[in-house]
Chains A and B, each alone.
Chain A
Amino acid sequence: MDSVIKACIVYAFLWAIIRISGRRTLGEMTAFDFVLFLIIGGATQRAITGQDYSLTNAFLLVITLIVIDIGLSLIERDSPLIRRVLKGTPTILVDNGHLLVTRMRLTRITTDDILVAARKMHGLERMDQIKFAILEASGDITIVPGVQAEVEAVAPQRLPTERVM
């Protein structure tokens, strides 16, 4: 019985901690964040398994966590409000080429983060090539390039080359 309760408590605790720490932590996973998550995993794992290393306990834990996950996904499917509470909502950071500075401060996203996403997704070089930048609920930044950027991508400027005589 207690392994089921422990799994529920740990699930709720980890969900709350990750929601409180903000989406930044999820999308922009650095090498250090990865180590941090390993430590969090290790610390909670020992608390939920305790001194019970039996197969029964391990199976019960895994089953409980998966059941919670399935249950929440079913609730989320039918209730947009609960989906928002559990997963968060997307936030537009660049609107038609305009940086929304207050929102960036509140989400702790810098112009560099947006430019990194722009380079990764579309190979864009400058801020003015970005039409929309959206911080998704998952923590990723997605970029919609502007028309100018698309034209540049289709017909890249010819670089003047030396003619071989």
Chain B
Amino acid sequence: MPTLVREGLITVSAVRNKGFNAALRLMHELENRCHPVEEHMRFQRRTWTIERLGWIVLATAVLVALSGVFGFGPLSKATSGEDALTIKYERFQRITSLVQFSVHFAPAGLQEQHLQLSEQFAKSYEITDIEPRPVYTSAGEQGLQLTFTSKVSEPLTVIIWAHPRSYGTVHIEARADAGAPIQLTVFVYP
């Protein structure tokens, strides 16, 4: 088209006319017709608009899922705690899917390490495995108490595998022998 204009075959007004004609044709195409079927073009155009907005929403959902906001991704990884006790976990989890809590104890100069998990944890999770296995487990009003043996001068890492049993926000409190209790906040998707 631009070459044609340059060569003077099509004048500017003709191009304008063409645009006008295109607009006319568009209007003509989007008119209601009633033969052989009755159309509802206003409704149909709105449907097309909503359809396209829907595509944007779906594409956004895919991108957001890749970022990990729906669980299992970069934005979902979280670490809580300081020197004595740190826990790595998934900030966003999904109901019934298997998640990992990686609990790291600093060397404490003791033969035994205790991990106390609040009652909320016991209520919201079904523990499938703990590695290494605790030598002693007890449950009470303060929640779950796990006792592990460790070498005196070495750090200890315990992996807890669990399934969330209910959806919503879960606040978990964890505490080792030394140090203040640490807070984990997890959101479980239905």
Contact = CB atoms under 8 A, between A and B. Distances in A.
B154 interface: no
B26 to A, nearest CB: 6
B51 A19 contact: yes
B36 A132 contact: yes
Interface in A2-38: 16-17, 19-20, 22
A122 interface: no
B44 interface: yes
B58 interface: yes
A84 B43 contact: yes
A26 B29 CA distance: 24
Contact of A50 (B44, B55, B96): B96
A43 B25 CA distance: 45
Given A84-B40, A89-B44, A92-B37, A20 B29 contact: no
B38 to A, nearest CB: 8
A97 to B, nearest CB: 13
A46 to B, nearest CB: 10
Contacts of A134: 36-37
Interface string B32-63: 01001101100110011011001101100000
B65 interface: no
Contact of A90 (B25, B30, B39): B39
Contacts of A102: 25-26, 29-30
Given A20-B54, A89-B43, A100-B29, A106 B37 contact: no
Dominant SS among interface residues on chain A: mixed
Given A20-B55, A50-B96, A106 B48 contact: yes
Interface in A89-145: 89-92, 95, 100-103, 106, 132, 134, 144
Contacts of A56: none
Interface residues of B, number: 20
A101 B47 contact: no
A51 B51 contact: no
A142 to B, nearest CB: 9
Contacts of B96: 50-51
Interface in B8-45: 25-26, 29-30, 33, 36-37, 39-40, 43-44
B26 A20 contact: no
A101 B37 CA distance: 18
Contacts of B43: 84, 89
A88 interface: yes
A46 B74 CA distance: 26
Contact of A20 (B33, B44, B58): B58
6 contacts: A51-B96, A88-B44, A88-B47, A90-B37, A92-B33, A95-B33
Given A19-B51, A20-B51, A84-B40, 15 more contacts: A20-B57, A20-B58, A50-B96, A89-B43, A92-B33, A92-B36, A92-B37, A95-B33, A100-B29, A101-B29, A102-B25, A102-B26, A103-B29, A106-B48, A144-B36
